């Protein structure tokens, strides 16, 4: 049987389940190559990133900086008086923007030639899905259903919110407990505190942001505490009760209690595979529910593929985009067919920001015999007049033998913006000598990365 006849026996060449970053990119690219594509999305177009992730989070981070900025302006001669915060304005303006983006995603899909089903799809066979009770066949199926917040099963868990609900609260809480040690927990502690809530960040471990450079973690804890976030490490919530007046009472493992208006759990995200029909069809998943895939994103069923947070490799929007493009090129086009997971830059939009690319000091010392550590810590020029005690940390790790830069880390204003450019340099294989021969832009914080002359250890 010829390939044309073989393809024509299916309703579509590619059926994508999930219209988040990875799914939309894969669908649009494939449709642009003449592939017959359908996409199913049951919740919201744009996925986690656009609706309950990166985009609204960054808008709220911007908002949370203003009170501090107004206060700092006095040192420059600008006096703001009568400043008030209206939560519904921020929330509703955010919703308007997300609705606009939803419409853009819809137009992108439809204009690229994809058929869009705004309904839940489940996998019913190696080449078959069910959408609203309708049976649809496809030569290939792509699972791009993302992740979902995980809340542990404790007494009173029905009273907590996750990162799904936090963006649309009816009223802004005066007292908040954020539980978790990952970047979502640290970011939202900063958002709540910056907007005026009394904020406690509770984490069961010694120190938050596991996996980041140890010195960066310690420095960030010191800076976050300066912003008014009360850090409570080595502790956990045992149970939560709701009083008659709506106040939440958290009981900790040591028996102590604390009242709050909201308790947010940011205790990790799990692959969103429940009820998709994968198990029944024979698609292998690991113990966390993540779809197990090959380097070509193929599952244990050859006609079914998966990308993005649902495979739980690197839970970052640009990684899902890269995976979607690599898969489509492998299946239908030409070009680079794999994703390079080396030297992925990332940022944490806490206050101040963290930007990082490459190895941590701990990883570098494990892998290389001799590592030079360059480090600079200072109070940013802006704060000589603002009065803020915020400090900036910059750090560079260099392989002594080859002079190659192994990792660069920053805690400070606009760290993400600065590290993005440095990530290009590391990807190009920059040595310390290349950084040293680069002229700095003065006066900036970023110039510190090209003026570090002596290793500290």
- pLDDT (tens digit per residue) in 366-398: 999 999 999 999 999 999 999 999 999 999 999
Mean pLDDT of 188-198: 98
Look at residue 3 and tell me whether its pLDDT is greater than 60. Answer: no
Instruction: Give the model's confidence band at 2: pLDDT under 50 very low, under 70 low, under 90 confident, else very high.
Output: very low
Q: How confident is the model at residue 7 (pLDDT cuts 50, 70, 90)?
A: very low
Give the mean pLDDT of 261-289.
96
Tell me the mean pLDDT in the region 356-363: 98
| 380 vs 7, higher pLDDT | 380
Give the pLDDT of residue 8.
67
Cis peptide bond upstream of 352, omega within 30: yes
157-267 is a CATH 3.50.50.60 domain: yes
pTM, 2 dp: 0.95
User: Which residues, including other chains, have CB under 8 Å from residue 89's CB and lie 6 or more apart?
Assistant: none
Could you tell me which CATH number the domain at 3-149+270-332 has?
A: 3.50.50.60
Give bridge partners of residue 348 from the DSSP assignment: 354
Which CATH number applies to 346-450? 3.30.390.30
Q: Are 274 and 268 in contact (CB under 8 A)?
A: no
pLDDT beyond 70 at 195: yes
The mean-pLDDT minimum among 7-11, 119-123, 249-253 falls in 7-11
**343 Cβ contact partners less than 8 Å away, ≥ 6 residues apart:** 357, 358, 423, 426, 427
Q: Give percent of the chain with pLDDT exceeding 70.
A: 98
User: Which residues are bridge partners to 130 per DSSP?
Assistant: 122, 135
Per-domain boundaries in the chain: 3-149+270-332, 157-267, 346-450
442 among known catalytic residues = yes
- Establish whether the linkage from the previous residue to 443 is cis, with ω within 30° of 0: yes
Asked whether this chain's domains 3-149+270-332 and 157-267 adopt the same fold, the reply is yes
Query: Which residues share a beta bridge with 398?
Result: 372, 405
Mean of all residue pLDDT scores within the chain? 96
Please report the DSSP string for 284-311 in residue order: -B-TTSPBP--TT-B-SSTTEEE-GGGG
Looking at the predicted structure, is the pLDDT value of residue 4 above 60?
Answer: no
pLDDT digits (tens, 9 = 90+) for 220-256: 999 999 999 999 999 999 999 999 999 999 999 999 9
Q: What is the pLDDT of residues 138-176, one digit of tens each?
A: 999 999 999 999 999 999 999 999 999 999 999 999 999
21-41 confidence digits (pLDDT tens): 999 999 999 999 999 999 999
Residue (of 162, 164, 169) closest to 92 by Cα position: 169
């Amino acid at each position: 049987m010829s390939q044309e006849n073989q393809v024509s026996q299916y309703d579509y060449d590619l059926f994508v389940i999930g219209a988040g970053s990875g799914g939309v990119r894969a669908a649009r690219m494939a449709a642009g190559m003449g592939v017959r594509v359908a996409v199913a999305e049951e919740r919201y177009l744009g996925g986690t990133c656009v609706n309950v992730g990166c985009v609204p989070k960054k808008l709220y981070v911007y908002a949370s900086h203003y009170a501090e900025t107004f206060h700092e302006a006095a040192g420059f001669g600008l006096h703001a008086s009568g400043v008030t915060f209206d939560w519904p304005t921020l929330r509703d303006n955010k919703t308007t923007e997300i609705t606009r983006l939803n419409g853009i995603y819809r137009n992108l899909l439809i204009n690229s030639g994809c058929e869009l089903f705004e309904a839940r799809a489940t996998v019913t066979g190696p080449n078959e899905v069910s959408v609203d009770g309708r049976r649809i066949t496809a030569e290939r199926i792509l699972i791009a259903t993302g992740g979902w917040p995980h809340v542990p099963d404790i007494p009173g868990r029905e009273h907590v919110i996750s990162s799904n609900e936090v963006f649309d609260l009816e009223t802004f809480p005066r007292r908040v407990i954020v539980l978790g040690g990952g970047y979502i927990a640290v970011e939202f502690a900063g958002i709540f505190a910056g907007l005026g809530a009394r904020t406690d960040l509770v984490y069961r471990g010694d120190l938050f942001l596991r996996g980041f450079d140890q010195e960066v973690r310690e420095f960030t804890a010191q800076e976050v505490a300066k912003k008014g976030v009360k850090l409570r490490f080595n502790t956990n919530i045992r149970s939560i009760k709701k009083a008659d007046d709506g106040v939440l009472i958290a009981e900790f493992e040591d028996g102590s209690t604390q009242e709050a208006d909201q308790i947010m759990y940011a205790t990790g995200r799990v692959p969103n595979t429940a009820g998709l029909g994968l198990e029944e069809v024979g698609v292998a998943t690991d113990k966390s529910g993540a779809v197990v895939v090959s380097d070509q994103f193929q599952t244990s069923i050859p006609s079914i593929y998966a990308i993005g947070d649902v495979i739980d490799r690197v839970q970052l929007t640009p990684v899902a985009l890269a995976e979607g493009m690599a898969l489509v090129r492998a299946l239908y086009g030409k070009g680079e067919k794999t994703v390079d997971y080396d030297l992925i830059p990332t940022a944490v939009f806490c206050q101040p920001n963290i930007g990082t690319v490459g190895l941590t000091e701990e990883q570098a010392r494990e892998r290389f015999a001799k590592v030079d550590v360059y480090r600079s810590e200072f109070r940013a020029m802006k704060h000589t007049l603002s009065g803020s005690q915020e400090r900036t940390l910059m750090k560079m790790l260099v392989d002594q033998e080859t002079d190659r830069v192994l990792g660069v880390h920053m805690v400070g204003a606009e760290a993400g913006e600065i590290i993005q450019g440095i990530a290009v340099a590391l990807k190009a294989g920059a040595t310390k000598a290349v950084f040293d021969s680069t002229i700095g832009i003065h006066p900036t914080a970023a110039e510190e990365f090209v003026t570090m002359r002596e290793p500290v250890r």
